[in-house]
Chains A and B, each alone.
Chain A
Amino acid sequence: MRDPKRTPRCARRFTPYAGRFVVAYLLDRLIQMVIVLFLLSVGAYYLLGLMPGDPVELLITSNPKVKPEDIERLKKIYGLDQPIYIRYFKWLKQLTLEGDLGFSRTYKKPTGEILKIRVLNTLKLMTFSFLLSFLIAIPVGVYSAIKQYSTFDYVVNLMVFLGISIPTFLTGILAILVFSVQLQWFPAGGIFTIGVDSVLDQLKYLVLPTFVLSVGSISGWSRYIRASMLEVLHEDYIRTARAKGVPEKRIIFYHAFRNALIPTITILALSIPGLFSGALITETIFAWPGMGRLLYDSVMGSDYYVAMLCFLALGVLTLIFNFLADILYAVADPRVRVMKEGP
């Protein structure tokens, strides 16, 4: 035990009790995460195994030259002749103890190599779309809440419902038809012009998919921000502030917006893992080699190494950002801060 008298003054604020609490809290969350990840991997692996149609056996339905003995031999090479729990533990051991991500059966490449390229591509596309959505949705949402029932609000409302209800595959195809085939402003899919290495060129390829991806999220987010802003604007403390004669700008940005942000944080934080998981339909339409398609193709092809690594990576990200969201609450809203006093 330390002698309290000898403890410097400034150190007293961070009492060992609070520190111990933070460490315990972090440890607690960490253990939770490991358990969740373990359960996720068991569940995902088992579900992959439950899917009918063993990938190797399906070869026989498409290739008349594949004979039963070929199937037996291939299953043995890929270890598919063993029961699923043995395969799972072998995979787990390989991943955790040997650090080997495995060699993809369908892509014929090391799994880590495939994932690296795909994650980068997806991150590029999704970050642009995220920023664009964020930058448009917040001002639009706030403004239409302030000017409720104005023409602007009605127009935004209409656009938002269009944006939410028109599916991506339609906006995608329409965008290609108008901007690539008719106007020829932007390329119809791909990530850069072959043989051209310039940022402007790559940006040109980003425009259409970013736009198509953002339509949905702008619509959804601006609705959400508008609603939570409206709710806050009707709170008593806003009325009090107005009665006190606080300038309107300060009311909106200091009192209302900050409070309206709290529920928004959840949505934003939880959509960040989505930046890595990609968007299957948009990626397919715009020939964008990202994670969405990788995940889909690997699950459909029963490519365990690739699919499991995707699942785990997304699992980890979701958990981390969930955790970050919890912390951000505390920053935005003092009421949420959990304080536990020492004895």
Chain B
Amino acid sequence: MEKFLNFLLIIVLVFFSGCSKSGQSGTDSQITVGISQEPDSLDPLLGEMAASSEILGALLRGLTTRNEKWELLPELAKEVPSLTNGLWEQLPGDKMRTTWSLKEGARWEDGHPVTAEDFIFAHQVIMDDRVPVISRDLDRRIEKMEAPDPLTLVVTWKELYAYANEGHALLPKHALESVYQKDPSKYHESFFNTKPVGNGPYKLSQWEPGNYLMLEKSPTFFGEPAKFDKVIYRIIPDTNTILANLESRTIDAISPVGLSFDQAMEFQKRRGADFNISFVQGLVWEHIDMNHDSPILKDKRVRQALLYAMDREKIVKTLFEGKQEVADSWLPPHHYGHYAEVKKYPYDPEKARKLLEDAGWKEGPDGVRVNEQGEKLQLTIMTTAGNKIRERVEEIIQADWKNVGIELEIKNQPAKVFFGETTRYRKFPHLAMYAWIIGPTADGESLWTIKNIPSAENNWQGQNTGGFRHPEMDRIDNLVPKTLDEKERRHLLIQEQQIWAEELPALPLYFRADVSATRKDLVNWLITGTDTPVTWNVERWYFAK
């Protein structure tokens, strides 16, 4: 037996000595990025995951892009249409027209020129009922698209739509038209999912499923030539393992799709001197929806009291060390319509108690408030079970509210049940904590209008989950997306936020931050906090000497 163990030991030692330090990555001509997701499809019409859009950011460039300051910049287009430059015209009958000129010399990676036809083709595919494109939000508003010459695209719109400058898709017509024509219902099974043809600074050279994607510099890119010869995306599903890889220098950067906020905070403390860790305010708005059909929550005073009685400063300080900010309304501070002077609800238990008294909730014998009918002020909060941060927030709120005589019961559910049943069918009795993504062009139309209250009549569709009804706010929210002038829109959104902050359809908590970590010497890695992926300027990344 001893002999056998000795033998094993020798084998192990021999093996170990054969393994020198494992391969270090990041020579100057390439960068390796760790990402926790694998892209599903690299067809821009079909990919649903954040990882897909991050890879596509390096492979495919559209008419416009947004930078890290959320500014809209032309990319394939020479100029962004606006009412002032005349490229955006209002037509009689509440229609409109936008005209785009494409940059000369833009080419697909196979050398074919990028033309207006590529946009028209993509629109045709999107509007085909046999192709499972997820959202047609933009395209369904388009009446027709025309190409008077190869580099001019004229879009006529059925209706006034404020966000017409973003989101036109394009596909290489020369490469895909035959596939599509052959059988449109099989389009989504085409080669393009895994072997896309792009026009960006990089092209896909290898994709080892579950392992990595290798991007190579594309010689045909119309913009500034890329600095790295290769960009490698390594897929590492466990976020602790990604960090270990960065620490052992087998990767050079961690994508925003790859690190949790907690880990980034911990990493900052431990290795902040050796790595760059970025926290950028994002679009994800954490909030608590209130069921406005509940007799308790119908009363505005109760809703306000709930917010006054909640120490949100303490929440962001203890849980996030202040790196995620308290939200005063539902629009993030980077949003063009954000109103800084909106009514705020600092922690004020006295004010909360008074509001509750006014609303008829008197102190009860056991510390829980009761109304005239003797009913206790008991509320139930629900959220996604297993989400540690949300569970901590619930505990803090529970303690804060107990302090003013509100009893809070916590009833969490697995995410699938919570989103699939509870919020969708409005089955939460009082409160539901979750998040919405508020995009750079978000308006309140889908979240706060009456027509978007999910109900049996509208087949449970819509995102006004709390069931908030306010005629004036409804009018404004329906008007915003039809108002073409950004200044006017901003004005409307300010009015909307004033009503919102007074009425409190939901309790705003905080905006989540996007996080990422990189080697100290990586330059121009700018995460945006929006759905614009970090690869929006991949061609400008490099390691400082």
Contacts and interface: CB of A to CB of B under 8 A. Distances in A.
Contacts of A59: 48, 134
Interface string B238-260: 10110011011010000000000
B431 to A, nearest CB: 17
Query: Which of B19, B48, B208, B423: most chain A Cβ within 10 A?
Result: B19
A67 B135 contact: yes
A318 interface: no
Contacts of B439: 64
Contacts of B226: none
Interface in A255-300: 284-287, 289, 293, 300
Interface stretch (A36-44, A84-92, A100-108, A227-235): A100-108
A255 B437 CA distance: 69
B92 interface: no
B463 interface: yes
B82 interface: no
Contact of A187 (B22, B211, B446): B22
Interface residues on B, range: 35 or more
Interface in B41-57: 41, 43, 46-48
A106 B48 CA distance: 9
A333 interface: no
B420 A204 contact: no
Interface stretch (A6-14, A19-27, A158-166, A174-182): A174-182
Interface string A32-57: 00000000000000000001111001
B183 interface: no
Contacts of B296: none
A62 B446 CA distance: 13
A295 B239 CA distance: 20
Interface in A81-118: 103, 106-110, 114, 117-118
Interface residues on A, range: 35 or more
B236 interface: yes
Contacts of B424: 57, 60-61
B373 interface: no
A308 B416 CA distance: 19
Contacts of B421: 52-53
Contacts of B48: 59
Given A103-B189, A108-B188, A188-B245, A287 B238 contact: yes
A182 to B, nearest CB: 9
A177 B211 contact: no
A196 interface: yes
B5 to A, nearest CB: 9
Given A53-B419, A54-B420, A109-B194, A70 B135 contact: yes
13 contacts: A53-B420, A59-B134, A61-B423, A63-B134, A64-B437, A64-B442, A64-B447, A64-B463, A66-B134, A67-B136, A108-B41, A190-B212, A204-B22
